[in-house]
Amino acid sequence: MTRLTALFALGLALVAPPALAAPTGGLAVEGTSFVVTTATARLASPDLVGAVFEIDDGKGGLTQVRIDAVTPAKENAAILLHTLSSRDPKSGEWLSMCDPDALGRRAGFPLRGRWDGYRFVGDPNAWFLACTSGSQGKCVLWGYDPWGETPDGRPLADFYRTCQQSVRADYRGDGAPHTKNGTEIDVADIASVQRHDTVDNPDYIFEAGWGPTGAVCVAATRWSDLLTEEALLKASPNLGGTCDEAAARARGALIFTRIKRR
C-alpha cells in the first residue's frame, strides 16, 4: 500500500521559483513541512509552492519533484498536505506522485525518518515522502505521528509502526500485506487516539490486536481469499486462541481492528 518512500540525499539542489532567493542551506523537514533557509528568510512549504527539488530515485539517479499546492488536512490542520508532481524523464511531463486516497486527494507530505525495508526508523537526519493513499500517510492522518506523543505522554513511534502493520494486514510482521485497496477497518488503540465506532454494529467483528512487529492475536483474517484464518494459524499458531480486545491487551497490543463481516 505504500506509494512512495524516497529518501532525501544531502547536497541535492533546490531550484527556487523566481520570487524566492536561492537557498543557503539544505532542504529540511519539520513536522509535515519542508523548510528552506535563505540569506534573508526562513521558508516553509506554503512559501515554496512552485519550487522544484531533486531526490534520490533509489536507482542511483535523481528525480525532480515540484510542489504544486499546500493545504491543511481536514483531519488535522497542523498536517500540511502537498500536491506533488515528478517529471517523467522520458517525456518531460509532470505527473502526480500519489494515487487518490479515500477522499479522492492526490496528496502527500514529508516526514522525518527512513525505512529499513518495511520498518520505520526514527532517523532525524533523513526524510521520506508519504502519500495519504498509503499506510505511511494514513497513519499520520489518524493521529499516529511518529515524532509525537499520546495524550498521556507516551511516544507515538511504536503506535505508528503498529499502525503500519494493521493497515497492511501484515499479521506475521514479515512485510507481506493481506488486504485490498479501499478496505474499511475500524481502528482503536490503548491510548484512545482512535476509538471504535462499530462496537454496536453487528455487521463488524473483531479482527486482531496489533503490536509494532505484527499481530499479537487474530480472530479473523481480513480477506479469506488472500489468507484464511486456518492457513495463518497453521503457519503461526502463536496468533491463535481467544482473541478479543481484552485478550489482545493482555498480550501487549497497542492497536485493535474491527472489520466488516464477509
**DSSP letters spanning 43-87:** EEGGGGTT-EEEEE-SSSSEEEEEEEEEEE-SS-TTSEEEEEEEE
The pLDDT tens digits for 208-228 are 999 999 999 999 999 999 999
The low-confidence residues of the chain, meaning pLDDT below 70, are: 1-25
Task: Tell the residue number behind the cell numbers 488535522, with chain if given.
Answer: 76
In 3D, which of 194, 206, 199, 125 has the Cα closest to residue 160? 194
> Which residues are within 8 A (CB) of 132 and not within 5 positions of it... i.e. 6 or more apart?
73, 81, 98, 101, 105, 107, 108, 109, 138, 141
pLDDT for position 6: 25
pLDDT for position 39: 81
Cβ atoms of residues 66 and 51 within 8 Å: yes
In 3D, which of 199, 190, 148, 149 has the Cα closest to residue 166? 190
Residue 22 and residue 37: Cα distance in Å, rounded? 9
pLDDT for position 25: 56
pLDDT for position 80: 98
In 3D, which of 55, 3, 213 has the Cα closest to residue 120? 213
> Which residues are within 8 A (CB) of 199 and not within 5 positions of it... i.e. 6 or more apart?
258
